[in-house]
Amino acid sequence: MDVSLSVFLKKRKNMAKEIKKTTTKVKAPAIKKAVTKTKETKIKAVSPIIETPKVELSATQIAKYINKNIMISPRKLRLLANSIRKMSPTKALVGLKFTNTKAARILIKALQNVIADAKNNFNLDENSLKFDLIKVDEGLKIKRMDKSHGSRFARGLIQKRHSRLIIYVKGKQK
């Protein structure tokens, strides 16, 4: 038993030595780039020059409005935002002027801002504007403890919710 094990280990050591001898480092030949010089000492590359295709700017552009801290609950703002989503911004602005809520007043200011931005900064036609995105998310929460809200041992927690409003408007250039 011991003899066969020692013979096996000797063969294994010999195999390892043979592998080390056969694997030697070979230096790769240096690769030189082929470059031709003309009489005027200008260097020309051997490979042909590839021209990039010209990309035309699209006629539609996007104007953005982002407000990250509005003091109104996201649920209340989302109710009106969902109702104007399918309208054009100018029609939505007219409809919101007859709605007597705080959310409507906030959306009126936001829409006026986006329309003016699209018109003056991006040179977009006011009649071709459409909503690309209206998104109302939850923003910061201000939390307060109040003993009058809650039971005897669980003190009441008052949360003042804030919302974030993101509006993208796209339209065609004049």
Domain range summary for the chain, segments of one domain joined by +: 60-172
**For residue 135, what are its two tokens?**
């998104």
Reported for 11-14, long-range contacts at CB under 8 A and 24+ positions apart, including other chains, are none
Would you state the pLDDT for residue 153?
Answer: 75
The architecture that CATH gives domain 60-172 is: Alpha-Beta Complex (3.90)
d(CA 72, CA 68): 11
**pLDDT-derived band of residue 148, with 50, 70 and 90 as boundaries?**
confident
**DSSP label of 54:** P
Q: What is the mean pLDDT of residues 132-155?
A: 87
Q: In whole angstroms, what is the distance from residue 115 CA to residue 88 CA? A: 11
The tens digit of pLDDT for each residue in 62-111 reads: 999 999 999 999 999 999 999 999 999 999 999 999 999 999 999 999 99
> pTM for this one?
0.63
